[in-house]
A and B are shown apart, each in its own frame.
Chain A
Amino acid sequence: MKQFKKLIIYTLCTATLVQISGCKKFLDRKPTDVLLDEQVWSDPKLAVSVLANIYNRLQPTGGLEGGKLSPTDLEEAMWSGGLGANNARNTRVNYPYTDKQLWSYDLIRDINLFLENLNKSAAMQDADRKHLLAEGRFIRAYIYFLLVRSMGGVPLVTNTFQYDGSPDVDALKVPRSTEAGIYDFIAAELDAIKDQLPLTASSKTRANKWTVLALKSQAMLYAASIAKYNNLMTDPIVLPGAEVGIPASRAQEYYQKSLDASKEIIDSKQFVLYNENPDKAQNFYDLFTKKTNNREVIWAQDYTLDGKYHDYTVENIPRSLRENATGAAGVTPSLNLVEAFDYLDGTNGALKIQTPNGSDYIYHTRPEDVFLGKDNRMFGSIITPGSTFRGKRIDIQAGVMEWNTATNQYVMRTSPDLGSVFADGGILVAADGPLPNAANVTNTGFYMRKYVDSRVGSGQSGQGSDIWWIRYRFGGILLNATEAAFELGRTSDALGYVNQVRERAGFPANSLQTLTNDIIRKEFQVEMAFEEQRYWDLKRWRIAHEVYNGNRQAPNTLINALWPYRVVRPSDPTKHNKYVFVKRVAPRFTQPRLFRLGNYYSSVPQNVINANSLIVRNPYH
């Protein structure tokens, strides 16, 4: 028995030993589902896929995905979609201080890691390394631009930190840089990497020399305007440590740097204004939707139907064209924006809907006649009553004005039903609205066209659209150059740039002879509508608190609507079955916009201030 026990023990011991020695091999297996650091950093293709991940996280604050409602922060559009949470955009008393808040140090750390690992890796070819390093630094500079635009000076972190477990974390605390310091860092980085990137613009989605210059043109223009216009305010927005606020003395230098970068792009002749279609309105729409051989686009965020698409079209398509059971008509353009587009003969863009003394309407044979002669960019950006989309006429009619011969007055007839018919057999409320309080039908009398896909199928939520989001385009660079040249006193150069942009829109050559700030600002507003431009423009010009001053009698604090009506007045054939227009405040829009001084810089997240005693709050928070 004793012998037997021994035998068992020996057997067990041997078995254990065999198992333990075998374990080594088992645990040493190469993982099949993750890539190791040294594998990634020795193969340019794998390193590029790390970069692809970073590019994908570079979501603009506007764009076609998460930020697609950003036009409703402005007077250019409002929310006409569902009556749920997004409707709060029409009824908010203030912009919250957290609006546009950005603190993306997780992304900055990943880029810093990318740069450090790439620098260390021995296996990477030098040419590949140089290219990828420059690309990473470009993205980092771009994020710092997004950060400084929202938050003012932020902590400048250009290397990764390792926490060694010690209770003393003071070494890891980085204070905020000055606002000018961040802009200077961006300029210096861009200058350093400009010539290490490809010179051709063959890729529209990855960094090259021209995206670098475009970013510089934009960032330096922002820095310059803050330097100039902040100090012209009654109470300039500054912090004692200059984390917010740039000295006025630096404005000239920044304007010059912006103009130099813009001119380098213009003089390179790599880009032209998109001008392929003789129909100027369609041409302006095509600029955003045609990807092949589009020589205007400098940098875009691309989408593909193979898995990476967006629902911008699902949300914003006109009601009658929707392909989904829900949704449609989310962001709808305002009359404020429609009237900002001038007439092609140079006159002010206010629509003529009443006789000059206000006694009667102006009668139009077709609803589209009221827009005759308007800037073609308006038709390319906005679906107006009677225009065509996807080959179908979009009818927008709020009701019927029936003449009461007894009282000599019009009586307004409406219906809560889309596509309803009036007693005379004609249309009462058109299939595309507008309706006062319904969801998913326009509240303003207009629909979005820019960036909305005309391909059938793109309005289905399971499929979506693959139209790309243009971050930088040549038209924008020309406008940057216009502003910078004008600020530097080179008005004739500035006129040359801005008149090119206007000529593409259908204005005659040299349509502008003089320039003012207001003209340039309006040109930005209409050319770049819905492109995540105006909010930041109003901020850098320091006029946002005057444009959105909370006074509901001011011109642009409320969203205005234009509602077309058909006239039923058989007694007067010159007016019967003609169309008239009523201008009103959009019924679903109730609160005037109020931009407080504290909205010029978003609040620093409280957990950041709690964790780092060196971080100072932004003013007014």
Chain B
Amino acid sequence: MKQLIYSIIIFLAIGLSSCEYDNYEPPKSELNGRILFEGKPVGIRQGISVLQLTQPGFETVTPINVNVKQDGTFSSMLFDGDYKLVQVAGNGPWEAASTTIDVSVNGSTSIDVQVRPYFSINNVSFVVENNVVKSSCLLVNNVAGRQLERISLILGKTTIVDDPTKLVPNPTDPLSTKVGTGLNLLQPILLSQNLAVSPLTTTPFLYARIAVKVVGVPELLYSNVFPVKS
């Protein structure tokens, strides 16, 4: 019996001590960045694949996907070294470019990625009046020839708001969406959504965002997020 206990203790000791050899140091250097146009971050749907990191000189060329947040910022934990930050052309709601930025990561590093979105959403303001959320913005076309499909005021029940996960008010408010054809971009675009309809009345939290769909581009452009009920 004693022998058994001793042997268990010995095995445990060996098992625990060998753990040290199995583990790698985790990456410790942080790469922070923003996706910018004219100095302002570009709002997107969280999680779209627009940036990849590769580290040349290794046997395999598997890229590291960079998860970009909805406000256009990103951060990755990396090992120190020289990387290439590649824009995946065509995935973002901006002019396709396959530019590569050389990034040398040594401790905490930050970097800005410049893009040219098809439209910019400027002078955004939100206000809640009489149980109606109202928004105003000015759209600027940055890329000639790109058509606006629609601009909508969308609502979500978490701080992450995008078109696929938005809440669909029933009945829909005709003032919450405007189609792009014939829209005067020189005037501020006013959108509003009545909050007294299901399911908006029952959700404990509510966040609003302006979404802009460009013809032929699956990903939408977004404004910042406004807390309606929080």
Q: Which residues of A contact B (CB under 8 A)?
A: 93, 233-235, 545, 549-553, 591-592, 594-598, 606, 609-610, 619-621
Contacts and interface: CB of A to CB of B under 8 A. Distances in A.
B218 A619 contact: no
Q: 4 tightest CB-CB pairs across the interface, nearest first?
A: A234-B216, A610-B60, A550-B164, A545-B218
Chain B interface category by residue count:
20 to 34
A609 B52 CA distance: 16
8 contacts: A234-B215, A549-B218, A551-B164, A552-B164, A553-B168, A606-B62, A619-B90, A620-B91
B89 interface: yes
Contact of A235 (B49, B90, B163): B90
Contact of A609 (B61, B172, B213): B61
Nearest to B211: A551
Nearest to A553: B168
A interface SS class:
loop
Interface string B146-185: 0000000000000000011110100010000000000000
Interface of B: 47, 49, 59-62, 88-91, 96, 163-166, 168, 172, 213, 215-219
A620 B89 contact: yes
A553 B218 contact: no
A279 to B, nearest CB: 41
A619 B96 CA distance: 11
Contacts of B218: 545, 549-550, 594-597
A550 B163 contact: yes
B166 A552 contact: yes
Contacts, number: 54
Given A93-B164, A550-B164, A596 B216 contact: no
Nearest to B150: A551
B interface SS class:
loop
A621 B52 CA distance: 9
B91 A597 contact: yes
B61 A597 contact: no
Nearest to A606: B62
Contacts of A552: 164, 166, 168
Contacts of B59: 610
A596 B48 CA distance: 10
A402 to B, nearest CB: 22
A234 B218 CA distance: 11
A621 to B, nearest CB: 7
Contacts of A598: 49, 91
A587 to B, nearest CB: 14
Nearest to A607: B60
B90 A553 contact: no
Nearest to B145: A234
B217 A594 contact: no
A610 B166 CA distance: 39
Contact of B164 (A594, A609, A621): A594
A458 B3 CA distance: 60
Nearest to B146: A234
Contacts of A93: 47, 164-165
A545 B219 CA distance: 10
Contacts of A545: 218
Contacts of A620: 49, 88-91
A619 B49 CA distance: 12
Contacts of A551: 163-164, 213
Given A550-B164, A552-B168, A619 B89 contact: yes
A90 to B, nearest CB: 14
Contacts of B215: 234
A36 to B, nearest CB: 39
B197 to A, nearest CB: 14
A594 B45 CA distance: 12
A208 to B, nearest CB: 43
B169 to A, nearest CB: 10
Contact of A553 (B62, B89, B172): B172
Nearest to A93: B164
Given A235-B217, A598-B91, A609-B61, 12 more contacts: A234-B215, A234-B216, A551-B164, A591-B164, A594-B164, A596-B218, A597-B90, A597-B91, A610-B59, A610-B62, A619-B89, A620-B88
B161 to A, nearest CB: 13
A619 B164 CA distance: 23
Contacts of B217: 234-235
Contacts of A610: 59-62
Contacts of B47: 93
Nearest to A550: B164
Nearest to B215: A234
B92 to A, nearest CB: 10
B55 to A, nearest CB: 13
Contact of A592 (B88, B90, B91, B164): B164
Contacts of B213: 551
A115 to B, nearest CB: 33
Contacts of B91: 596-598, 620
A549 B164 CA distance: 9
A606 B172 CA distance: 44
B215 to A, nearest CB: 6
B88 A621 contact: yes
A544 to B, nearest CB: 10
B174 to A, nearest CB: 12
Contacts of A621: 49, 88
Nearest to B96: A235
A211 B165 CA distance: 45
A60 to B, nearest CB: 28
Contacts of A594: 164, 218
A573 B203 CA distance: 40
Nearest to B47: A93
Contacts of A591: 164-165
Contacts of B62: 606, 610
A234 B93 CA distance: 13
A545 B91 CA distance: 13
A595 B91 CA distance: 12
Nearest to A591: B164
Nearest to B48: A596
Find the residue from A235, A550, A595 having the highest chain B CB count within 10 A.
A550
Contacts of A235: 90, 96, 216-217
Contacts of A233: 216
A122 to B, nearest CB: 45
A291 to B, nearest CB: 43
B90 to A, nearest CB: 5
A591 B219 CA distance: 16
A549 B219 CA distance: 9
A511 B96 CA distance: 46
A206 to B, nearest CB: 42
A550 B60 CA distance: 34
A607 B6 CA distance: 47
A606 B88 CA distance: 16
A545 B88 CA distance: 18
A401 to B, nearest CB: 19
A182 to B, nearest CB: 23
A203 B49 CA distance: 48
A550 B222 CA distance: 15
A188 to B, nearest CB: 32
